[in-house]
Structure 1
Amino acid sequence: MSAPTPSWDDLVTVALLGTDRRTPPGAVPGREAPAALLDAAAAETVRRRAGLRPGRAAPRPDPAPVDPRPALPAPAARRLTLLLADRPGAGGGRRGTTPDLMELLPQWLAAANARGFAPPPESLPALLDAARGRTDLRPAALAFAGPRALWLARLNPDWRFALRAAPGGDASLPGPEEPDRVAALWREGLFAERVALLASLRARDPGAARELLVSSWPTERAEDRLMFLDSLRTGLGARDEPFLEQALADRSRNVRATAAELLSALPESALAARMAARAAACVALDHTGDTPTLVVEAPHECDPAMERDGVTPKAPAGRGERSWWFGQLVEAAPLTVWRRRLGGRTPEEIVALPVADDWLDELHAAWCRAAVRQRDAVWSRALLGRPSAPGAGGPGAVSLAERAKLLGNLPVGARAEWVAGFIAVHGLSEAFQLLGVCAVPWAAPLGRAVLDALNIARDAGSYPWSFSGVMGLAERCLDPAEASRLDALLAAPDEPEDAAPGAGGYWAEAFQRLGTTLRLRAVMTQELGP
């Protein structure tokens, strides 16, 4: 019986280890082993290069679905090709006056989606490649790509993200109308598949997703329960309260904390009522002085009931325990409790009240977090205060990040007006995060405030590269109608003696690029039609 033919992997292993340590298959140890190895490798190479028997042809894929949307106008289709051909950071170094086309792609996609166009089929691979590299681009890109993107994603593993991003896009994810497949996948699927299934169901039928989670909750691992519980943020409502109340008794602290956070976002929940009673007991209005003053008496202990309702007992390093507990109670209490507790005063009147014994910062910071969690526009506006307030913040704004979150609760127009007032008084050095929450294109007052502040910084000889982030935002967000206002800023200014070297040329170049980008955006809009 002949010896079996050695495999290529066997020969590679012998070559890596050496014939002194391992004898080639079918050879004898000694001086002839290396030659035997080479002979076997040559024979295996010929065998590997020989023809293979033809396999059975795979079935043809189903035809791509029809996209009923109207086709892009020809100029807009050419523009899309140019935008997709650009690469971020191409060339490196100084940008010059050339617009960054990849940064204009999100805005172009938003405009095309608003008009209901379908993409040219030949552009879909490049569009999916662009979305693969930029997660921020995916929602708009997949909406524009339409049903054919899912068809392509099932054929190319590189584009599988499209199946995960579209509810029900992955053929392996059944819907509420297929309860048997849902139950089987939930019982037998991988963790990632179960997370995707729960998110898909929650987006379409919140109740069915919740019942699915309830069915296996006691047997899930703690880290899995936390991830599954987080999916309830989508479509959170009063019907989720009984399940979340049960989760308050979970053996995992993180699960308990997440359940408490979700319940506190439901102002009518029992947990919100319990937190309201605790928080109200800590704050009183003192009328004995000349001016009514808020007096705070923080909790003296974190009892088991508070801990069950999501209060973390251990304070971070450098933080007092009582203030730590107090902040958590106020953050989780419905903001409506304070009007009843404080004599029917409005949020503006409540925020304006003095607070005794240095509790003001702690109380206002907790109100800020509550306003963000409960998406309360009235309280957010009161806590922001006047944009011209000293220290570049309102009475409850403890950081730029907090102010940005509060601004997100305001209507679009009010948001832009507040940020414009902030920039007019405090300039641009602290405004970057605030500009990021304003609607695009910027309203006219906000756009003018940004341009005026940039002009002031240029004339003052400020270090120009510190404003590159704001310049980049302006290129994407400034209304193209403002392009004519840039004409007076295109020349290089005289540089003051204390200005950064080369600052004048940089400012002129940046304003030229901004003007060119705004005019290009105007042309892009025209190409898409009305």
Structure 2
Amino acid sequence: MEAWNDMINTALLGTEKMPLPAQAGIGALQQAMAQINSQAGLDKEEQFLQLAAVTFNVRQSGTKPLHQPTPNWIQAAAESLPYCSTRAAQVLKDLLEDEYQPLVNLWLERCIAAKRIVIPELVPTLLNRAIQHKEIRPSVATVCGCRGQWLSRFNPAWEFTNTTGEEELWHTGNLDQRKAALKRMREKDPAKARQWLEGSWPQDNANARAEFLKQLDGAVQPEDEPFLVGALNEKSQKVKDAAIVLLQQSPDSILVRNYAETAGRQITIKKEKALLGLSTKTTLHIQPAPVPEKAAWLSGIDYLSPNKNYKDEEYVLYQLIQHTPPAFWEQHFALSPVQILEYFTGPHEKYFSAFAKAAGQFKAVDWAKAILLVQGEGQFGQYTPLLQLLPLPEQEARIIRSLHKHENSEAQLQKAMRWPENWSHELAKEVINYTAKQPYKWTLHFYKDQITRIPVSIVPQLKNFAPAEPAHAQMWATLADQLTHLLRLKESTQNAFNE
């Protein structure tokens, strides 16, 4: 309607600069406008507002409203589990309001273990929290029960609560959903997961194939080898690289056997005469072979050294040792791990770390202990990843001892931050005694992240960890109060489902 456009222009520019045209509007509208304009007691602005009101109503008359079909409401299914207690619900409210995500995770774990579900009023809040924190989505879907499933129909962002079957998700989901379904099935039924992968392989693109192979990382089985060897013939280098990484994890794969045989031919121990031929001694001989042409039987090996301390052929041998199961060398030399490692000190020390990497890759506990024994505890910092192969009590004892002596403390602290269980009182004491001395570095964020590991029993001792510097001591006093609050919330969370 032209009259309405004129109204808009006048509203934007003002009645002085852009008065309404005399013939604005048609028919009955012109008559109404004439009547308004004839009222002498109205100024131009008031006339304009009345004209605009009339024009708007004329414009709206006869317009059909939008039609929304009446929704077919289906009630949520009845819950099969009881709701959590009022006390537990209040604890969750406190955690959600204060943004204590690790404690929210703990609450979810305790709720599931107690076979309870969250009260209805907190279901939307938890669903919204899970949008940002993908790692808690399975737990949130569980504690939200049937009501959470029902609500997900009205918000696409909550669809993670739908209990679509794993196989259906594998066939119809997006890439992330299919990766997650494959990983879960791999943990539950490795053979079926492999069948899924083989079945969809011809239809999947190279990027998807590489991503799916990554879901098998750390869980390779001998039965996977034919499929993985076939993947080495793919055109995509990304797919080849992913298959090589998996084959390197299997001690019995053809690739690893080729590595071991090639390395074994280059490293030997020979008996030689000594003291004018009156006695003999054993000597290690290392003869790195010339760098071969690239061949499938040595896939995954780099032929050019990135380190000036290693010639190309030495770097090739280093990689072969790194990807060879340590048990091979025990058979090859007929010696113990300690005896073998002692040969790789001194002039041959450049290969020592390759054995450490192999011990970590193939989870050789006896070799990890042997490396510690040969290198000495003071030098073990560079081999910290091997600590995870030792029994947990032994790992903990080493971390406590190192922190107490301030030996390689940062590396030991990083290990404690990835600890798979709650810290013991002694471990917590050593960790906090170390971090409290640097409150500007180890802030509240650190303690929030580690709160599920820190035992509540440490609360009475927190003030005792105050650093000597007055400024640092004041910072720690504030941190100690905040940490005490966190630990009391943790205690409430732990006790919320004890009734």
Q: TM-score range by the shorter chain?
A: 0.7 to 0.9
CA distance in 2, matches of 1:132, 1:206: 30
SS at match of 1:467: coil
CA distance in 1, matches of 2:480, 2:430: 15
2:344 and 2:352 in contact (8 A); partners too: no
1:505 CA displacement: 0.5
SS at match of 1:232: coil
**Bigger mean CA deviation after superposition, 333-342 or 203-212:** 203-212
Amino acid at match of 1:479: P
1:345 CA displacement: 0.3
1:296 CA displacement: 3.7
1:388 CA displacement: 7.6
**Matching residue of 1:74:** 86
- After superposition, give the CA deviation of every residue in 1:374-413 in whole Å (9 maximum; x if it has no partner): 334343444455998335x35x62xxxxx2x433333332
**Matching residue of 2:495:** 526
Equivalent positions of 1:182-331 (< 5 A) are: 182=171, 185=172, 195=179, 198-199=182-183, 202=186, 204-218=188-202, 220-233=204-217, 236-285=220-269, 294-305=284-295, 309-316=299-306, 320-331=311-322
- After superposition, give the CA deviation of every residue in 1:127-152 in whole Å (9 maximum; x if it has no partner): 22222222344454445445654444
Instruction: Choose which of 339, 355, 358 in structure 1 pairs with 2:345.
Output: 355
**Matching residue of 2:332:** 341
Equivalent positions of 1:381-420 (< 5 A) are: 381-383=369-371, 389-391=377-379, 393-394=380-381, 397=383, 403=384, 405-420=385-400
CA distance in 2, matches of 1:58, 1:110: 36
Pairing 1:503–2:472 present: yes
Question: CA 1:152–1:45 in structure 2 vs 1: closer, same or farther (change >3 Å)?
Answer: farther
1:76 CA displacement: 1.5
SS at match of 1:478: coil
1:243 CA displacement: 0.8
SS at match of 1:312: coil
**Matching residue of 1:117:** 116
1:302 and 1:325 in contact (8 A); partners too: no
**Bigger mean CA deviation after superposition, 289-298 or 470-479:** 289-298
1:442 CA displacement: 0.2
Q: TM-score scaled to structure 2, two decimals?
A: 0.75
- After superposition, give the CA deviation of every residue in 1:195-215 in whole Å (9 maximum; x if it has no partner): 566456545543344334334
CA distance in 1, matches of 2:449, 2:414: 11
Amino acid at match of 1:360: E
CA distance in 2, matches of 1:438, 1:199: 23
CA distance in 2, matches of 1:157, 1:107: 27
CA distance in 2, matches of 1:77, 1:217: 47
CA distance in 1, matches of 2:251, 2:489: 47
- After superposition, give the CA deviation of every residue in 1:157-190 in whole Å (9 maximum; x if it has no partner): 1223455xxxxx33695179xxxxx4xx4xxx76
> Larger radius of gyration, structure 1 or 2?
2
CA distance in 1, matches of 2:175, 2:201: 14
**Matching residue of 1:58:** 71
Amino acid at match of 1:331: Q
CA distance in 2, matches of 1:377, 1:524: 37
Amino acid at match of 2:168: P
Question: CA 1:282–1:519 in structure 2 vs 1: closer, same or farther (change >3 Å)?
Answer: farther
1:80 CA displacement: 0.7
SS at match of 2:496: helix
CA distance in 2, matches of 1:294, 1:240: 37
- List alignment gaps of at least 5 residues for structure 1: 16-31, 88-100, 164-168, 177-181, 398-402, 458-462, 496-500
Question: CA 1:238–1:146 in structure 2 vs 1: closer, same or farther (change >3 Å)?
Answer: farther
CA distance in 1, matches of 2:112, 2:374: 37
CA distance in 2, matches of 1:45, 1:255: 66
**Matching residue of 1:448:** 429
1:285 and 1:295 in contact (8 A); partners too: yes
Amino acid at match of 1:75: R
RMSD: 4.1
SS at match of 1:284: strand
CA distance in 2, matches of 1:380, 1:152: 52
CA distance in 2, matches of 1:143, 1:300: 59
Pairing 1:464–2:439 present: yes
Amino acid at match of 2:250: L
- After superposition, give the CA deviation of every residue in 1:26-58 in whole Å (9 maximum; x if it has no partner): xxxxxx9xx99xx9xx87995599452544323
2:79 and 2:145 in contact (8 A); partners too: no
SS at match of 2:330: helix
Pairing 1:477–2:453 present: yes
Amino acid at match of 1:213: L
2:130 and 2:140 in contact (8 A); partners too: yes
1:255 CA displacement: 1.9
SS at match of 1:466: coil
CA distance in 2, matches of 1:117, 1:305: 58
2:169 and 2:177 in contact (8 A); partners too: no
Amino acid at match of 2:86: A
Alignment length (residue pairs): 448
CA distance in 1, matches of 2:268, 2:114: 55
